[in-house]
Amino acid sequence: MNRNFLRLAVVGIGAAVLILAAPISAQTPTPDPEVIQQGQTLYQATCASCHGLNTGEVTGNVIIGKDLVNNVFVQSLSDEELLAFIQQGRPVEDPLNTTKILMPPRGGNPNLTDADLMLIIAYLRTLSDPDASRLVASEVEDTGTGTGSYQWVQVVDNLDNPLQLVNAGDGSGRLFVAEQTGYILVIENGEFHQTPFLDISTLIPDSVYHGGYTEQGLLGLAFHPDYENNGQFFISYTNDAGDSVIARYQVSTDDPNVADPNSAQILLTLDQPFPDHNGGNILFGPDGYLYIAFGDGGNPYEPNYNSQNPTTFLGKMLRIDVNAETYRVPEDNPFVNDPNFPPEVWAYGLRNPWRFSFDRATGDLYIADVGQWLIEEVNFQPVGSPGGQNYGWSAYEGTQRYLMDVQVTSEVTLPVLQYTHDMGCSITGGPVYRGKNLPDLQGRYFFGDYCNGSVWIASQDESGEWGAELFLNTDFVISSFGEDEQGELYLVDYKGAIYRLEVQK
């Protein structure tokens, strides 16, 4: 059968399908996980320096070779033909070389044997073959909420790498935007205040200003639930040593639109081994405690197995009580009596939680966790849970086994939603819509993809089944979603603008 043709037919469906997570079932086709794992490791060590995997251009990564996910060249050649190609590479003068850059023999690593290359090829096939990476697929039903009914209306632009939009919950109606570059800006009545609310640009790494892709900088902002009375807010950033910092600040005494830079009090600092996967979202839960999510420390192979290692804050969600000199650990935190974990830990097994949210109506917690090469996921923790969940990374990526040598000592809470990298490459979690202006979207959980701008909505039916559907495709580089005090929904475009979701006029 013509492999290419088959693939193209499947791509058409792929665009409209969201995968609903279910326990790994008999429906899962079985590429030998060991082979795939080895191929992936070899690929990451040699080939990934030049080739993207669905990275596109929006991440700012410089891709020398071609994106090898859904790559027609990979799909149309047999294993033997592909092996021959990788053995020899493609010289610059070959007319088929469209990049005019040399593809070096054996990917530039003469030590790779043919058997190694075959492992890499097996891995590349899983990136192109939906059957190999999909677990359970469910067709999207058209509920009429898609394109045509809603529009994103620009609120402000000219921002510099905005990463978050929050409100202060103080009845002022203001919006606060955190820029990665270290500025917090106030938006009131659709306009910026001239003076930033806070400027911590001198505290963050220089790399943030070099124009390339970075995951460092000012990453999170949360206002104290009693901000109106105590003027306290909290930020999360990477400092100039690249380490994560959670700090408390105070609004100034004479101007509600300017914070007091001298009020800084560092609550905790976390050593970061690599510049990526910092997480950094902070948020007050319905219980009044501050939740902090840290990534695994970075590096695709998670070399220190941080997320499953109880002793570090890396790969964890923490829960602390900030109504103290610095902070206190709530007595009912899940691991307070477990000597293996620091008592601050609320949940673990996270890779790079990029935006979690509490449903403001129910208190349920949604954690969107960015995947490695294959799967993006949404974890769900119902309100009232005692905490302590293990969300699986790096033993699992989504519902699939990832690093085979990672021991899992406790039950893994698998995601409720996941999608594979034919539908995006980096999840951005949003809120559950609880505003008034868009009644048809009540109770829908919003999430999007940073790489391709897709926005989906999800919810759970009476029987507990999760369903998701494509909401809108956008051209945005979605770094966050946000809510105003009324619960109306906003989207933060990393390219520099904020949009509000409205009914199409």
74 makes contact with ligand HEC (CB under 6 A)? yes
492 makes contact with ligand HEC (CB under 6 A)? no
Q: Are 236 and 180 in contact (CB under 8 A)?
A: no
For residue 103, the minimal CB distance to ligand HEC (Å) is 3
d(CA 77, CA 91) in angstroms, rounded, equals 18
For residue 111, the minimal CB distance to ligand HEC (Å) is 11
Q: Which is nearer to ligand HEC, 128 or 357 (CB)?
A: 128
Query: Scanning the structure block, which residue is given the tokens 């051209």?
Result: 475
Query: Residues 31, 108, 242, 310: which binds ligand HEC (CB under 6 A)?
Result: 108
For residue 487, the minimal CB distance to ligand HEC (Å) is 46
Q: Are 501 and 438 in contact (CB under 8 A)?
A: yes
For residue 31, the minimal CB distance to ligand HEC (Å) is 17
Task: Determine how many CB atoms are found less than 10 A away from the CB of residue 273.
Answer: 16
Query: Of the listed pieces 90-98, 196-204, 226-234, 427-435, which binds ligand HEC according to CB under 6 A?
Result: 90-98
103 makes contact with ligand HEC (CB under 6 A)? yes
d(CA 251, CA 198) in angstroms, rounded, equals 9
How far, in Å, are 59, 317, 377 from residue 449 at the CA level? 12, 22, 11
Query: Of the listed pieces 7-15, 58-66, 192-200, 362-370, which binds ligand HEC according to CB under 6 A?
Result: 58-66
Query: Residues 97, 138, 149, 263: which binds ligand HEC (CB under 6 A)?
Result: 97
Q: Provide the 3-class DSSP secondary structure of residue 170.
A: coil
Element spanning 292, H or E: strand 290-293
Residues 18-47 binding ligand HEC (CB under 6 A) are: 46-47
Q: Which is nearer to ligand HEC, 93 or 325 (CB)?
A: 93
64 makes contact with ligand HEC (CB under 6 A)? yes
Q: Provide the 3-class DSSP secondary structure of residue 167.
A: strand
Query: Residues 31, 104, 242, 342: which binds ligand HEC (CB under 6 A)?
Result: 104
For residue 235, the minimal CB distance to ligand HEC (Å) is 39
Query: Residues 50, 367, 438, 458: which binds ligand HEC (CB under 6 A)?
Result: 50
> Residue 448: beta bridge partners?
428, 455
Q: Are 43 and 448 in contact (CB under 8 A)?
A: no
> What is the secondary structure of 444-482 as a DSSP string?
PEEEEETTT-EEEEEEE-TTS-EEEEEEEE-S--EEEEE
d(CA 46, CA 108) in angstroms, rounded, equals 7
In the complex, the residues that contact ligand HEC under the rule CB under 6 A are 46-47, 49-51, 64-66, 71, 73-74, 86, 90, 96-99, 101, 103-104, 107-108, 120
